[in-house]
Amino acid sequence: MSPSINSQEVSVFAPATIANLSCGYDVLGLAIDGPGDRVVLRHTPDSKTKGLSITQITGDEGKLTLDPFKNTAGVSALSVLKSLGAEEESFEMEIHKQMPFGSGLGSSAASAVAGAFAVNALFGEPLSKVDLIEHAMAGEALASGAFHADNVAPCILGNITLIHSNSPLEVLEIESPKNFYLSVVYPHLEILTKEARNLVPKMLPVAKATQQAAHLGGLIAGLYSGDFNLIGKCLEDQIAEPNRKDLITGFDEAQDVALNIGAVGFGISGSGPSVYAISEGKQTAEQVTQCIAEVFEACDLKCETFTSGVNPNGATILSRR
């Protein structure tokens, strides 16, 4: 027996995320306790249109398509509908983007997760959150060409996630230590994904690879033991950040300022241009956020800022009727 639709309408939320976290390039990510995407999914059995229709998109500055086969949330929703054998039913979807685009904060992952999660919620959650990761990855791949789950996994599961195996996909969830706070600053400059990708080397000297591994090992130890000093020492990337940081005007100065004020670590969020810092304590994090923003503003860059803890829940159902 295939799963059946057990709600008329659901409204779900999927959070913004920080991927990479420096030494965790391509494998580590965390969910931000703040902005994200909201998706409403409605079962419309009386509709003459079969399948999924996207009826409304807000907050996208007109950039997203209503075609469900070309829309990130649509593709991931269709992937789940297909796996549930329900492609022929009629559904309407609304997408409300409540976070910045192209910011390096996992905007496409949030849409992809919200789409897949909404379908699963409407059917009474027949699939686990881990099962939904591959469906959401299908949606995100459409938008960003990314085939890593480093945004999707924390977006759906919450917490800090380590993809310790890609094939088969295996994800470890790690709770953030007490007093772990994030400063997130999105300076309004455009980074072309293709350009950012071309800056990542294809090959790495073994000494750098072992240093990257040691830092990630140390970071995980720091997260388990709540050792902020260790966390800070290990937040260093050997792969992408040394080249990509030049795309972000003011990066080095923002890093210096953040660390001087009391952040333990600083780096690029995803492929940028957003940057993140980690601090022990909310008050320090708030000061760090403000001072990072001031550096970018002095470079004539407008900024959006968030100061938050780690979102422990990931994708959530806001309402269901």
Position among 14, 219, 254, 268 found at the interface with a second copy (CB under 8 A): 219
Instruction: Judge whether 11 and 315 are in contact, CB under 8 Å.
Output: no
Token pair, residue 31, equals 């969910």
Does residue 209 bind a second copy (CB under 8 A)?
Answer: yes
Amino acid at 181: Y
Position among 96, 188, 233, 282 found at the interface with a second copy (CB under 8 A): 233
Q: Which residues pair with 310 in a beta bridge?
A: 32
Does residue 181 bind a second copy (CB under 8 A)?
Answer: no
CA angle 120–125–129, rounded 5-degree value: 80
Backbone angles phi, psi at 77, to 5 degrees: -65, -45
Within 24-83, the residues that bind a second copy by CB under 8 A are 24-28
Does residue 192 bind a second copy (CB under 8 A)?
Answer: no
- Kindly state the helix (H) or strand (E) to which residue 220 belongs, with its residue range: helix 206-225
**31-39, 189-197, 231-239, 296-304 -> range binding a second copy (CB under 8 A):** 231-239
3-state class of 57 per DSSP? strand
Instruction: Judge whether 296 and 254 are in contact, CB under 8 Å.
Output: yes
Alpha-carbon span 235 to 187, nearest angstrom? 21
**22-30, 62-70, 98-106, 300-308 -> range binding a second copy (CB under 8 A):** 22-30
Contacts of 62 (CB under 8 A, 6+ apart): none
Instruction: Judge whether 23 and 162 are in contact, CB under 8 Å.
Output: no
Number of shown-chain residues binding a second copy (CB under 8 A):
41
Task: State in angstroms the smallest separation of the CB of 173 from a second copy.
Answer: 10
Per-position x/- string for 125-164, each x denoting binding to a second copy as judged by CB under 8 A, each - no binding: -------------------------------------xxx
Position among 211, 249, 290, 305 found at the interface with a second copy (CB under 8 A): 211
Q: Which is nearer to a second copy, 171 or 293 (CB)?
A: 171
Position among 169, 230, 259, 317 found at the interface with a second copy (CB under 8 A): 230
Comparing CA positions, the residue from 18, 25, 19, 17 lying closest to residue 208 is 25
Site residues for a second copy per CB under 8 A:
23-28, 162-166, 170, 172, 174, 200-206, 208-221, 224-225, 230, 233-234, 239
